[in-house]
Amino acid sequence: MLTLHRARLVLPDPAAAPSITDGAVLVDGAVVAAVGPYAPVAGARVREWDGLLVPGLRNPAGHWLLEVAYHPDPREELGAEPLSADVPEEQRGPSARRGLQRMLGFGTTAVAGPFERAAVRTAVARSGLAALPGDGREGGLDPLAGGGRLAELVHRPLAVGGPADFAVFDAASVAELEERGAGRCLATVLGGRLLYRRR
């Protein structure tokens, strides 16, 4: 099935490619079929986004967020932010799944490990997010917090034939996105599937 994601601004590669005003990404199944200026495509479902479409982000604090921090269940009424707390091993898997789901709300499509706990490795593998090597640094759900630069946090550029992993943010430019942070995520697409959409 073809899906055409149209955005006010599309940035296929923050490190090199120019941005495309009124751009679009055509997705065929799980891969990018085309990137360029918007033009209708016969038979394609169209999703229109009022914002900046960029490749999915890499969260360098994945190890801390999934192996050390605890992501409370909403029924616990402890908030949605990760907590630094000792939890029983049987709660690690559910906590990691909640953490991965929350990361999607920040445009994350890849997380940095290492992931040593079996329950966390399983949760990451089932989530579809890419597991990458990392240094185990501490951090939060927003990869852009604390002055993160978009070009340094992109998992991989959007390219024809490559994975359809990207995010759309409520921002008019890269500078605005970096200033406001990834918490302004409107949608995250992973493997061509819309896995997060802000309500």
Q: Residue ranges per domain, the chain?
A: 2-56+153-197, 58-132
Rounded to whole angstroms, how far apart are CA atoms 2 and 181?
30
166 has pLDDT over 80 = yes
User: Going by C-beta distance under 8 Å and a sequence separation of 6 or more, which residues neighbour residue 89?
Assistant: 117, 119
Q: 2-56+153-197 falls under which CATH superfamily?
A: Urease, subunit C, domain 1 (2.30.40.10)
Q: To which H or E segment does residue 190 belong?
A: strand 185-190
Q: What is the pLDDT of residues 12-58, one digit of tens each?
A: 999 987 899 999 999 999 999 999 999 999 999 999 999 999 999 99
